[in-house]
Structure 1
């Protein structure tokens, strides 16, 4: 199910867009649902804080009458929903350049000035979003989000080999198939972040799906890329059973 969110500070404009969305979904019977339409951008953020969203289309007014604009809202939403599709509705075309500043890949832009074409454009972005999600098979891809400085980096879980405690307090090193980098966290926190993560040692959390082999005698774990880490005695026994299953 693809969820649709609309955030528009003009009540009449909001009602109009909601009407177009609801009518089209009803007619076409698409696997999509309008879950929230609001004038308040913080309502959208609160929804994502309380609910998991895997596939979503966000129709956002850029010039919101709030402490954040639509582009800043999209930037915050991207941290919670990496796969979300964003469409900006605005009467200020000059503000579109801000999407490049925030490195947002907008699905489309809709100008309010074209009132006659608004319904047509809303329908087009609904269809475009539906096609994109159906083609990408995004449901099969799981991401883990890491905050580094002021940025949030999304990593595919299948690309993660293991996490290692850093010599820098409160930091860990994530080892990937194509490299590694450091960020603030602890192995204690990471072991509960995903079902594939298993704390095999006081200094390591391993991605069970990327283990190539385990030496029961030396308790050495070999990853699919050849890297090796050590396991505790108890964890090694558990890992052997997990890998065999």
Structure 2
């Protein structure tokens, strides 16, 4: 069963903050949805501090882009949220449609943009976004696809485990190269750390971790694992024996 979806609202205008919360809570009550307003505030740090200190599951954020002189703007807040909660749904409420392009610059995937220029439409759009968010989380809950999270620079990248072929130690200290079905890239980690990240990952050699599900065959004589794309990965003696058993 999917856990309750937490809703966060950040708006520096008290009247508008109360209005947005009222729209949300009234609709949740009428529809009896498994959602709740967790935090409604004019202080962006209140949300960030909560996210830093608590386990986050399913979340929907309504964020005003212009938060006033004493706060970071909504784009910066969303960028910080995205580093903590990469699956969260973010909706911007703003007077500044020209700032929408910044969400692409900061690589923030937004669910929607609600313009304050059309106050008669705000409630309708909020309800649409609540329904869309609920639908998307329901779909992801029914999807058994597993994901592996990788931090690259300031971004957190989510990769389907099924798309991962294997990992290998990089010549660069404290870095690992992940080989995917459609390419490869480096990130900071260690082979030792990765082998415990997923039950499908198996350390077949001191420098390699393979995704067992994407191993096509194992050659006991050459001590090599052939991946589904034809790439070959070295295995230790013990790694070869264990991998053969795992593939039976």
In structure 2, relative to structure 1, the CA distance for the partners of 1:18 and 1:147 (3 Å cut) is same
Q: How does 1:17-32 map to 2 (within 5 A)?
A: 17-32=20-35
The C-alpha deviation readout for 1:61-103, integer Å capped at 9, x for no partner, is: 1122454221122223223333332210123333223223223
Question: How far apart, CA to CA, are the structure 2 residues paired with 1:61 and 1:211?
Answer: 48
> CA 1:233 to 1:141, structure 2 compared with 1: closer, same or farther past 3 Å?
same
Where 1:68 maps in the other structure, the secondary structure is coil
Give the number of aligned pairs.
Answer: 243
Distance in 2, matches of 1:33 and 1:215, equals 55
Q: TM-score, normalised by structure 1?
A: 0.84
Q: Distance in 2 between matches of 1:33 and 1:140?
A: 25
Alpha-carbon separation, structure 2, partners of 1:196 and 1:52: 25
User: Is the 2:65–2:73 Cα contact (8 Å) retained in structure 1?
Assistant: yes
Matched position secondary structure for 1:104: coil
- Post-superposition offset of 1:20: 1.6
Large movers: runs of 4+ above 6 Å: none
Q: Give the aligned partner of residue 235 of structure 2.
A: 231
- Indicate yes or no: 2:107 matched with 1:98: no
> What SS class does the counterpart of residue 24 from structure 1 fall into?
helix
CA shift in 2, pair 1:43/1:157, >3 Å: farther
* Structure 1 CA distance for aligned equivalents of residues 46 and 116 of structure 2: 23
CA RMSD between the two structures: 2.6
CA distance in structure 1 between the partners assigned to 2:37 and 2:246 by the alignment = 41
Segments of 5+ residues of structure 1 without an aligned counterpart are none
